[in-house]
Structure 1
Amino acid sequence: MIFHHAMKSPDKEYEDIVEGYFIVGKIEQGKLWVDEALGERESIGPITVTREISSLCQEGWSIYLVLGEDKGKWYILESGNVYRINEKRVSLEKPSFLRAKNL
């Protein structure tokens, strides 16, 4: 979905282009803000997206993107993997089948 959206971005010279993994930090209808996962830039946005994309995304997800900025607006130029982070699934405890066997 994000890939198809990126193909519709304007083909022009952008003032700034950033590439890498980003963490979704804020979501509004039709807009996303992201932080660089491995860099120092925070709150890049608003990134123009479809309402469908913004309704499906969740804060904390990691997405590989190439972003272009033009006149204060950010556009998705390319996209890669999306990693849905679900805090409920993250656990440092051993799985129950290992605890039962004392492993």
Structure 2
Amino acid sequence: MTERSLMVGTTPFHERTSAANATGLWSHWAGVLGAEKYQLSEKAEYFAIRNSVGVFDTSPLYKYRIEGPDAERYLSGLLARDIRTCRPDHAQYTIWCDDA
């Protein structure tokens, strides 16, 4: 293993999430550091999400760009969610179907 392969990157939001990370707990996620939790108490995070807003840095998630005249047809056979409901330049969470 080389030194370069051991390096862990940060997301574009790392500076902001670092300031909010009261626990100092980080995990390695797809080659970058991600906060495991922001508050010492899960209860505090729960009420923050319930009564205000929750933000989660999903930068490390894989992103795919599928283009072309048959892209919608291809995705309609692959995804569990109706891709036609996703507007251009937007994203949606879904699962991929597998015949296996």
TM class, shorter-chain normalised?
under 0.3
TM-score, scaled relative to structure 2 = 0.22
Higher helix proportion, which one?
Answer: 2
Mark the structure with the bigger radius of gyration: 2
TM-score, scaled relative to structure 1 = 0.22
Report which structure shows greater RCO (CA 8 Å, sep ≥6).
1
Higher strand proportion, which one?
Answer: 1
